[in-house]
Amino acid sequence: MSIEPILFYIFSTILVLASAAVVTVRNPVYAALCLVLAFFTCAAVWLLLEAEFLALVLILVYVGAVMVLFLFVIMMLDINLVRAKEGFIKYLPAGGFVAFLILIEMAVVLGPENFGIEVTGEPLKHAADYSNTKELGVALYTHYAYPFEIAGALLLLAIVAAISLTMRRRPDSKYQDPAEQVAVKREDRVRLVKMPSENKQ
């Protein structure tokens, strides 16, 4: 028996448990860390699928940057857990109904009649010199060049929009300008006042 199925089951068990923990643990910092664990094991599963580029980029972008900023915000918030738990029973029916609907929809779309092994066929095993990175690059820059460029332009637009929406000028904040400090002259700072001495009255 090869080692890959064993690894797959270990990683998917951790993935499922970590994802469940994200929504069930009480401490928000633990929840964020469980999400990090879920991303990481997900990357490991993708590695087993020979998608090493996507796996490493998942770690680089989501674990290395996005979740760091999330954790940042969560740690600084002073979340009142008691208030956050209020109304659990009240919202349970509506929430449960939505969750049930999503479950049904996923089962219909992702069920074995659409994605079963008979429909998609067994995934190809590639040789050791197969480079997933290269394949992705070729596909992105030939077949999907225009969608890729459009997506890039949209992301740039989003960056500019986010900055221009949150940027605020604060005229009251004081800061130094070293160039001005260096260029200062004696006349700007010291004023000698000549005045006649006054007699005692």
Residues of the shown chain interacting with other proteins in the complex, contacts defined by CB under 8 A: 3, 29, 33, 36, 52-53, 56-57, 59-60, 63-65, 68-69, 71-72, 75-76, 131, 133
Choose between 113 and 172: whose C-beta lies nearer to other proteins.
Answer: 172
- Least CB distance to other proteins at residue 180 (A): 16
Residue nearer to other proteins on the CB measure, 65 or 103: 65
Instruction: Name the residue nearer to other proteins (CB basis): 12 or 59.
Output: 59
Minimum Å gap between C-beta 190 and other proteins is 28
User: How distant, in Å, are the alpha carbons of 13, 51, 135 from that of 56?
Assistant: 20, 9, 15
What is the C-alpha to C-alpha distance for residues 23 and 28, in angstroms, rounded to an integer?
9
Closer residue to other proteins (CB): 64 or 147: 64
Distance between terminal CA atoms of the chain?
113
Of the pair 29, 108, the CB lying nearest other proteins is at: 29
With b for 16 or more beta-carbon neighbours within 10 A and e for fewer, the 157-191 pattern comes to eeeeeeeeeeeeeeeeeeeeeeeeeeeeeeeeeee
- Closest approach, Cβ 2 to other proteins, in A, equals 9
What is d(CA 175, CA 169) in angstroms, rounded to the nearest whole number?
A: 13
44: left (phi over 0), alpha (psi -120 to 50) or beta: alpha
Q: CB of residue 164 vs other proteins: minimum separation in angstroms?
A: 16
- Distance, in Å, from the CA atom of 71 to the CA atom of 75, rounded to the nearest integer, reads 6
Report helix, strand or coil for 153: helix
* Residue number, 26 or 191, with CB nearest to other proteins: 26
Q: Provide the minimum distance between the beta carbon of 131 and other proteins in the complex, in angstroms, as a whole number.
A: 5
Minimum distance, C-beta of residue 35 to other proteins, in the bound complex (Å): 12
Separation CA 48–CA 42 (nearest Å): 10
